[in-house]
Structure 1
Amino acid sequence: MKKLNHIKFTLFIFSFFSVSITSWGQVPQVPREMRFADLTLKLNEQVRREIQLDVDALHKNPTYFKVKLERVNLYMPIVEKELQASGVPTDLKYLAIQESSLIPDAVSTSNAVGFWQFKKGTAEEVFLRVDNHIDERKNIVSSTQGAARYLAKNNSQFNNWMCGLIAYQMGLGGAKSYFGTQYNGKKVIELDRNTHWYFKKFLAHKVAFENQIGKLVSNTGYLEEIQVQGPTTLKAIATNLGVQEAHLKEYNKWTSNGNIPDDRPYSVVWLRSGSAPARPLTNTTVQNNPPSTYQSASINQNTSAAYPKVTGNTQMATQPDQIKVNNIPAIQASQNTSQEDLADDAGIRKGKLRRVNDLSRNDEIEAGGYYYTKAKNNSAEAETHIVQAGETLWSISQKYGIKLSSLKAKNRIREDNRLIPGMVLNLQEHRKRGEEIPILPRNQQSPKPSPGANQPVQTQNQPSPAPNSSNQSTEATMTSAGQSLSHTVAPGENLFRISQKYGVKVDDIKKWNRLSNDNIRVGQKLTINKP
């Protein structure tokens, strides 16, 4: 018996050390050279050892590390998206892990609060609301937007993201005194034992988590963000989403009493079941591109408003064989109608109309919309398109006269929920396997259009779209059904916002309109049955 126990003990010790050795072998090692934002960092042996000690400490407890990694995986897609939209390198995302471990109501000894650990005064400087009712430091979307503003402001003083990051801890005045101008505009930096401790700790978090994000992910779902305009409550939103109020309170600790005011839209997040959409791609790709690549995308955006290109007898656009759109024979719908009626007007079969316009059987024809009567092309005349809020893959394919399947294939993107405003889509060349889709900073996404740029290019006078076209009709109108309403989807709307507007459930809207998923497009007509 004693011999058996001795054998068991020996096996236990062997297993314990085997697991420990395996875990230790998985700890990432600090390299001699690193990339951070647009900087190249060269590390000597002493600073590598210092940073490695911090990396080892982060990995020391596998259970604790896994718990933290699960939280990182949950919030990081939103953090990346907001940094991208603000033009801040997504490498800065590791700062949120360093500051709070992405715990929404974390409080430091100096009374800094939230995901990015803002003190009240600093939070208000970056336009976050902090009072007895709302504390946006605990809102993952708002606080990340605030952090991006603060980091971008710091970087503008140095043109160096290392200095800008350290200024996050020291304050801008302290960082200026500490650094002077020695690093201004410098892109290759040698790090040694005298490198600021805050930056060394940051690099430890980057090394520790950089290749771990996406691993050990539970199948519990993903965080989805919805924009809510109050006044309303988490309880009312929970009812529409079909979740418990406690669920929303867990992920939205920024509203102390569950009430959402009406001073501005607020971002509410909730844990949605299923597989998450592909994570937003880093904007480092855009920033590191040669200037010509970046500028060509910006130039294309200035011209994209000129599409669709409409030529021919535009005064008779609603008649067959009168106009071409993007040099493809087409017809303009004079009114909201059925596919069959428009096909009759165009003199083609309904099946062909559906096929050449990538329509499904239940898609309605919208007044003022252009519909092709012959097949669209495999490529567009324009090289790229900058995605705007509210656009869908279908609306982009129609705008340029490119087949929907070709647009999807060229960009390796299949679902509308993968689209992000500022995303640069290819319209001619296929994107290489594994190639990231660049996303322009927010200030590069919406240049002021030239007068009339919202209208198609015309060669003759063209009548204005019908008053109830998708560009103009965003209000619900009563129908003969009494309590049945027809709602035209406006840019930026989703099923949740529409359900909130009418006080109905998302699932009911899907049932009334026979929707198999949550994807809707601008201009689409939805039936709403008021209770």
Structure 2
Amino acid sequence: MLAKCHFRFLLLIIIFFPATDGLADSAAPRVPSQMDFAGMKLKITDAARSDIQQQVDALRASDRYFRLRLDLVLLYFPIIERVMKEENLPDDIKYLVIQESGLVSDAVSSSNAVGFWMFKEPAGREVGLRIDKYVDERLNIVSSTRGACKYIKRHNFFFNNWVYSVIAHNTGKTGAEKHVNKSNFGADKMTIDKDTHWYFKTFLAHMIAFQDELGGRPSSGLELREYTKGADKPLDKISKELKADEALVFQYNKWLKRGPVPSEKEYSVIIPVQKGEKVDLIAKNEQKQTPASSPSGDSEEIVAPEESGILIQEKYPDLKKTIDSRIASFIVEINGIPAIIATKSDDLKTLAAKSGVEVAKLEKFNDLRPNQALEEGQVYYLKNKHWRSNIYYHTVRQGETLWEVSQEYGIKLNQLARKNRMFTIDKPEVGRVLWLRQRRPSSVDVEIKDNSEDYLPAIVKSEP
């Protein structure tokens, strides 16, 4: 997926920024025999240390070049660190973006990988990035970092080893499998030797070269802030509204290729400002408006029984039986499978008692994780879910998970993920069209609807 030109890149550094310019080789950090990485203890053999040290020396050969690159690191890392924390990715993996693009937003590799994290178009779309003539989210530091987190976590789902997951960022899962030792799956200790894939040794070189230089500010004095209320506005209008430098706003938002900021989802417009400069930005984590409280101060929403039944009917489009929501717990049929709807007081034991199905089987039938709490109003199946639905497609709603969709249509979670070329841990993007009956062909791009309004595709009338 990603560029394989890092050694050539290092060679160019040595040619154009010789060691006599600024730092001498002796000033470069020394590669240790042991180091921590993403919660793992790495032992580095002498042969591997020699390979890594050569690359560290090359990265630090020119003080002028290194400071230019460090300025970009100091500028972008606060955003990258925040996104990675939100995505539960180990913080150490942030150094990979330096290796990939040098934090040049519109970098392009010889293999046509683009942007901060060097995604090719198919891989970028697979992790939810919009790539067309109007927008290329590979060039958006927030979107592309979130996409990279998804991509790396997918690999870690298979390898349970962050070293192998980093390698897979370059080679893909299939390529990485040639360089893994299954005895290291789930390991918290690992040896890096001369046979370790070059890509990870290059990653360690970047980590060692830059990790002790963080904490300062870029020489430009700039800070990057995020503006998320730019829907339907062109960049020049946003610049004027915020009284920001228009040229800089365009420079840091090359992801918007033409037209105004789209409105089908929230985009982060990057606003560069001088340290201490006051810019009237709307806070990213703006507090959501809460419903008006009742005169008594009790804000709990009360739903009439007949309204509750209608809501459940709308939520489960393949529901076969009439629901009487006044009954505490009741059996319904979805996708031809009997299911029970949980009440506020239910847990697995009470559902097992009401349905006559063992707790262990309820967990299996419903793809439940250990200790997963039940949700009031959610259906829980009393037999195995099917491999496919009688409905062809589903458009993802705000906050919806793959598990919730699998419950809505009575389809096995792993089969739903497989049909959409995803993993069960993936978070589907709002507006994404999920395939429920057939597997999306690899030649068909992921579809993101312009709006997230729900719709009901045609129901299959008869089996082929």
Which residue of the partner structure matches residue 38 of structure 1?
Answer: 39
Cα distance in structure 1, aligned partners of 2:271 and 2:231: 17
Residue aligned with 1:232, SS: coil
After TM superposition, give the deviation of residue 268 of structure 1 in Å: 0.5
Normalising by structure 2, report the TM-score: 0.55
Cα distance in structure 2, aligned partners of 1:448 and 1:105: 44
After TM superposition, give the deviation of residue 251 of structure 1 in Å: 0.3
Counterpart contact for 1:95–1:202, Cα < 8 Å: yes
Which residue of the partner structure matches residue 238 of structure 1?
Answer: 239
Which residue of the partner structure matches residue 207 of structure 1?
Answer: 208
After TM superposition, give the deviation of residue 213 of structure 1 in Å: 1.8
Which residue of the partner structure matches residue 108 of structure 1?
Answer: 109
Q: Residue by residue, what CA displacement relative to the aligned partner does 1:480-522 show, whole Å, maximum 9, x if unpaired? A: xxxxxxxxxxxxxxxxxxxxxxxxxxxxxxxxxxxxxxxxxxx
Which residue of the partner structure matches residue 342 of structure 1?
Answer: none
Counterpart contact for 2:230–2:238, Cα < 8 Å: no
Q: Residue by residue, what CA displacement relative to the aligned partner does 1:430-471 show, whole Å, maximum 9, x if unpaired? A: xxxxxxxxxxxxxxxxx98988xxxxxxxxxxxxxxxxxxxx
Which residue of the partner structure matches residue 253 of structure 2?
Answer: 252
Gaps of 5+ in 2: 1-18, 279-292, 300-371, 377-464
Which residue of the partner structure matches residue 439 of structure 1?
Answer: none
Counterpart contact for 2:156–2:162, Cα < 8 Å: yes
Counterpart contact for 1:134–1:256, Cα < 8 Å: yes
Matched ranges for 1:105-504 at <5 A:
105-179=106-180, 181-215=182-216, 217-218=218-219, 220-275=221-276
Counterpart contact for 1:224–1:272, Cα < 8 Å: yes
Counterpart contact for 2:133–2:258, Cα < 8 Å: no
Counterpart contact for 2:31–2:49, Cα < 8 Å: yes
Q: Residue by residue, what CA displacement relative to the aligned partner does 1:22-63 show, whole Å, maximum 9, x if unpaired? A: 644431111110101011100111111110110000000110
Matched ranges for 1:24-63 at <5 A:
24-63=25-64
Q: Residue by residue, what CA displacement relative to the aligned partner does 1:85-142 show, whole Å, maximum 9, x if unpaired? A: 0000011100000000000000000000000000000000000000111000000000
Cα distance in structure 2, aligned partners of 1:123 and 1:265: 18
Residue aligned with 2:271, SS: strand
Amino acid at match of 2:142: V
Counterpart contact for 2:89–2:149, Cα < 8 Å: yes
Q: Residue by residue, what CA displacement relative to the aligned partner does 1:284-313 show, whole Å, maximum 9, x if unpaired? A: xxxxxxxxxxxxxxxxxxxxxxxxxxxxxx
Cα distance in structure 2, aligned partners of 1:168 and 1:89: 15
Normalising by structure 1, report the TM-score: 0.48
* Residue 100 of structure 2 corresponds to residue 99 of structure 1: yes
Residue aligned with 2:201, SS: helix
* Residue 64 of structure 2 corresponds to residue 71 of structure 1: no
CA separation of 1:216 and 1:84: change in aligned 2, threshold 3 A: closer
Counterpart contact for 1:229–1:264, Cα < 8 Å: no
Cα distance in structure 1, aligned partners of 2:119 and 2:275: 33
Residue aligned with 1:176, SS: helix
Cα distance in structure 2, aligned partners of 1:22 and 1:108: 28
Counterpart contact for 1:69–1:216, Cα < 8 Å: no
Amino acid at match of 1:207: I
Cα distance in structure 2, aligned partners of 1:84 and 1:151: 14
After TM superposition, give the deviation of residue 19 of structure 1 in Å: 8.5
After TM superposition, give the deviation of residue 258 of structure 1 in Å: 4.8
CA separation of 1:449 and 1:214: change in aligned 2, threshold 3 A: farther
Q: Residue by residue, what CA displacement relative to the aligned partner does 1:312-341 show, whole Å, maximum 9, x if unpaired? A: xxxxxxxxxxxxxxxxxxxx9989xxxxxx
CA separation of 1:163 and 1:83: change in aligned 2, threshold 3 A: same
Counterpart contact for 1:160–1:184, Cα < 8 Å: yes
Amino acid at match of 1:224: R
Amino acid at match of 1:110: S
Q: Residue by residue, what CA displacement relative to the aligned partner does 1:152-207 show, whole Å, maximum 9, x if unpaired? A: 01011011000111011110112124325232111111111111100000000000
After TM superposition, give the deviation of residue 275 of structure 1 in Å: 4.9
Cα distance in structure 2, aligned partners of 1:105 and 1:79: 17
Residue aligned with 2:36, SS: strand
CA separation of 1:182 and 1:450: change in aligned 2, threshold 3 A: closer
Cα distance in structure 2, aligned partners of 1:240 and 1:114: 28
Q: Residue by residue, what CA displacement relative to the aligned partner does 1:388-415 show, whole Å, maximum 9, x if unpaired? A: xxxxxxxxxxxxxxxxxxxxxxxxxxxx
After TM superposition, give the deviation of residue 239 of structure 1 in Å: 1.0
Q: Note the aligned Cα RMSD (angstroms).
A: 2.8
Amino acid at match of 2:256: T
Aligned residues: 272
Cα distance in structure 1, aligned partners of 2:22 and 2:97: 30
After TM superposition, give the deviation of residue 229 of structure 1 in Å: 4.9
Moved more, 71-80 or 218-227: 218-227
Amino acid at match of 1:265: E
Cα distance in structure 2, aligned partners of 1:222 and 1:449: 44
Cα distance in structure 2, aligned partners of 1:22 and 1:99: 23
Gaps of 5+ in 1: 1-17, 278-331, 336-366, 370-446, 452-531
Cα distance in structure 1, aligned partners of 2:248 and 2:268: 15
Cα distance in structure 2, aligned partners of 1:252 and 1:260: 10
Cα distance in structure 1, aligned partners of 2:170 and 2:21: 35
Cα distance in structure 2, aligned partners of 1:262 and 1:98: 33
CA separation of 1:184 and 1:106: change in aligned 2, threshold 3 A: same
Residue aligned with 2:264, SS: coil
CA separation of 1:103 and 1:150: change in aligned 2, threshold 3 A: same
Amino acid at match of 1:112: A
After TM superposition, give the deviation of residue 221 of structure 1 in Å: 2.4
Residue aligned with 2:224, SS: strand
Moved more, 178-187 or 138-147: 178-187
Cα distance in structure 1, aligned partners of 2:186 and 2:294: 55
Amino acid at match of 1:261: P
Matched ranges for 1:6-25 at <5 A:
23-25=24-26
Counterpart contact for 1:230–1:260, Cα < 8 Å: yes
Counterpart contact for 2:22–2:63, Cα < 8 Å: no
CA separation of 1:450 and 1:172: change in aligned 2, threshold 3 A: closer
Larger radius of gyration: 1
Counterpart contact for 2:22–2:62, Cα < 8 Å: no
CA separation of 1:115 and 1:221: change in aligned 2, threshold 3 A: same
Residue aligned with 2:146, SS: helix
